A and B are shown apart, each in its own frame.
Chain A
Amino acid sequence: MKPTGGFRESLRALPWLAPTLVLIAGVVIYPAGLMVYTAFRKFSSYGFEQGPAGLANFNGPAGAFTFPTVPMGRIWLNTVVWVVVVVALTLVLSLLLAQFLNLNFRGRKLLRLAIILPWASSVVMTTTVFHYGLQTDVGLFNRLLVETGIIDHAIGFTKNPTMAFWVAVFVAIYVSLPFTTYTILAGLQSVPDDVLEAAHVDGANGMQRYWSIIFPMLRPSIAVATLINIINVFNSLPILKILNETPGYNTGHTTTTLIFEYKAQLGPGVASALSLVNFAFCLVIIAIYLIVVQPTKEVA
């Protein structure tokens, strides 16, 4: 092929790319465009369009950032804490778990299966199990904690917004572990044995072998796992929504759950306005991660 035939070549590829392009236009570009449009339209709380809104959905009297009684600062902080804590703890635990699952022992297959199970079940279902288990009167987890003497009376873990937030963090880590662990496990299995053996012969101890050889080689897997986790966790709605029983604008929200609270009370215009900013915020978090950690840098 001649290098100058770029345009022609693209044209020839078009019929094969067309289905994908149509799909992207239909399920990504059109809804995103509609969201931007909606953010600048006035809606009644019933969801009925009433005309142009200018910036009122952002900073009007009932705007996304100016609606009274919404603890906006706290909600931004929650959002950052939610993403950073869940993703970081998931990663650390997954690194340990993957290392363990990479060992050779009896029953390894069964254990690997057990760890993948939370991933195979629906997040809503898993969260609902935790939600019921933590109820004060009928909850099994509460009963277990009381009867083992860890706490002396049942606690309404999900009845207080701040406590419910931390329960949600726990559940989010729990459901994120399988995917992350398996991504890292796949990375571990691509570390060549002869390199490790050579290091061993050269007298490197376990720690040195891990930090100087294994960890750098895991970089691509960690990068993939972290990026996908950031996006997933940032957009995660069901866990926080199911576990936070307190209604209204409380200290247990992240911006993503706030979007849905707004949708119910103030209509789709305000919800879209917050979605737009929320989306930009997610990109900023990812950009910071990419710039600071440089996970895609090739191993020297």
Chain B
Amino acid sequence: MTRIRKTLVALGLATALTLTACGGGGSSSSTGPAETGPDGKLPATTIKILAPSYSDSSKSDWEKIITKFNEKQPNVKVELQIEGWDDFSSKVQARIQARDFPDILNDNAFAGAASEGLLYPINEVMSPETLSSIEPALLKNGEGSDGTQWAAPDIASSRMLAYNTDLFQQAGIAEAPKTWAELEDAAKKISELGADTYGYGLPLGQEEAQVESSLWLWGAGGDWVQGDKLVANQPTAVEAFGEMKKLIDAGATQPNPGATNRQQAADLFNNGKLGMMLSHSGLLKVTRENFPQTKFAVAPIPSKGGDPVAFGVTDFIVAFKNEDANRKEATKQFLDLMYSDKLYETWYKGTGLLPVTQSMIEKGRAEDTANAEFYEALTYVKFLPVGNPKWDALQKALQGTAGTVANDSPEAVLTKVQAQLDAQG
């Protein structure tokens, strides 16, 4: 008898300790026109911003805009939350689950939230003048597959091949590779220079496997998009993964590509231990400023046939529907202010990436000579299919699975990616 009771008590204790807590939340609502006063001032309200950290200055860059905004709208409180990129999507997820929608979200995806009706079309919270100041080719990237402009790009970046010129010289390689065969050859030669030197940095870890594998896919002449569907398991993708595997098997990449993020590859590059990697202006700004002993140049990304490939990324501003006219109006005024030349210039420069407004692109072309190649590449870049609601699923599947190509055949890896994609309907 006592034993049974004790067992029950123990199980009860176990129950209490095993359960974990999670929370919910509520939201207030009021619709109708904004209660703007005769002096143009909004009543007391709060708008919330959730943004990733692009660099150490991200918080203060946002705060500069907030200070300016509060001069115009002293009654509106702006709550800013800055989070690191590596775990950003789970932070967004947490806010959505708690129904604590940020009024302004700066993120790299929007289709999922748009297809669930959580967003305002961006033209409801940005003036036509602001929208038309954005480079049309980049603006198009924020259009959903339903044709609605759900998001406005806020920064752009293009990827190019960065290569260490000293290592190229030591290995006796005259110029940057243009084709896969040349890349393979160069990478092998650099890897043979020493035990700590690797030819090509292949980051297939959690952070950016989708970017790296898309670039190889495009280099093989393929595309994830087929009709209105996204297809992972296709011949060109098999070819692209086969080429990555070839590099890994030849020992021409850094060790453990499946567990390497882009920053870790960049660390190797900065310390002069990596011959080549696909990089962007933000990362190379760090190399230029903090690692002057590492000499590098940039070139178009090699492809199978030799036609240059370039990859473009835009991050976006989206506005969540909080069904509150005052917050909506405050959001609109904030965004219009943010994209105004002077404030936008400081803000985008803080990210180390490229601007999206026409006036700033023009200014950057003229003045920012260090990034001339990246501005040039912006004219022929391809973008990931971020407007497709299925992209989120494909992105997650690639992030979790692409890295296994080190120990598995390309066909098997792509079958797994496709299966995960299909299972999510």
Contact = CB atoms under 8 A, between A and B. Distances in A.
Interface in A46-67: 46-48, 50, 61-62, 67
B233 interface: no
Interface string A160-176: 10000000000000000
B354 to A, nearest CB: 28
B-side interface mostly: helix
Contact of A248 (B255, B393, B400): B400
A297 B396 contact: no
B97 A268 contact: yes
Contact of B24 (A28, A34, A46, A48): A34
A208 interface: no
Contacts of A137: 267-268
Contact of A266 (B22, B206, B424): B424
A24, A62, A228, A261 interface centre (most CB from chain B within 10 Å): A62
Interface string A5-45: 00000000000000000001001100110110000000011
A156 B259 contact: yes
B14 A283 contact: yes
Q: How large is the interface on B (under 10, 10 to 19, 20 to 34, 35 or more residues)?
A: 35 or more
A62 B424 contact: yes
Interface in B369-417: 392-393, 396-397, 399-401, 403-404, 416
A137 B273 CA distance: 11
B255 A136 contact: yes
Contacts of B137: none
Contacts of B10: 227, 286, 290, 296
B89, B255, B392 interface centre (most CB from chain A within 10 Å): B255
A69 interface: yes
Nearest to B118: A48
Interface in B92-111: 92-94, 96-97
16 contacts: A45-B112, A46-B118, A47-B97, A61-B423, A62-B423, A67-B423, A68-B423, A69-B420, A137-B267, A156-B255, A245-B205, A247-B209, A248-B404, A263-B93, A264-B396, A283-B14
Interface residues of A, number: 56
A235 B419 CA distance: 29
A45 B424 contact: yes
A282 B18 contact: yes
Contacts of A62: 423-425
Given A48-B118, A136-B255, A265-B400, A282 B20 contact: no
B258 A246 contact: yes
Nearest to B392: A45
Contact of A247 (B11, B17, B206): B206
A219 interface: no
Contact of A294 (B3, B24, B259, B416): B3
A245 B19 CA distance: 27
A231 B93 contact: no
B342 interface: no
A159 interface: yes
Contact of B18 (A156, A279, A297): A279
Nearest to B419: A68
A282 B11 CA distance: 10
A119 interface: no
Given A68-B419, A159-B256, A31 B21 contact: yes
Contacts of A248: 399-401, 403-404
Contacts, number: 145
A60 to B, nearest CB: 8
Interface of B: 2-3, 6-7, 10-11, 13-24, 89-90, 92-94, 96-97, 112-113, 116, 118, 195, 205-206, 209, 255-256, 258-259, 267-268, 392-393, 396-397, 399-401, 403-404, 416, 419-420, 422-425
Given A156-B256, A156-B259, A286-B10, A47 B3 contact: no
A249 B400 contact: yes
A287 interface: yes
A67 B425 CA distance: 12
A291 B4 CA distance: 10
6 closest A-B pairs by beta carbon, nearest first, are A248-B400, A68-B419, A247-B206, A159-B256, A47-B97, A245-B259
A282 B256 contact: no
Contacts of B19: 28, 31-32, 35, 279
B182 to A, nearest CB: 28
B417 to A, nearest CB: 8
Nearest to A245: B259
B425 A31 contact: no
Contact of B112 (A24, A46, A266, A282): A46
Given A69-B416, A69-B420, A156-B256, A46 B205 contact: no
Contacts of B206: 247
B416 A68 contact: yes
A46 B89 CA distance: 9
B10, B90, B205, B206 interface centre (most CB from chain A within 10 Å): B10
B107 to A, nearest CB: 11
B90 A290 contact: no
Contacts of B397: 265
Contacts of B256: 136, 156, 159-160
A256 to B, nearest CB: 10
A69 B18 contact: no
Interface string A217-245: 00000000001101110110000000001
Nearest to B90: A264
B112 A247 contact: no
B420 A67 contact: yes
Contacts of B424: 45, 61-62, 266
Contact of B93 (A27, A46, A286): A46
Interface string A184-227: 00000000000000000000000000000000000000000001
Contact of A44 (B2, B17, B112): B112
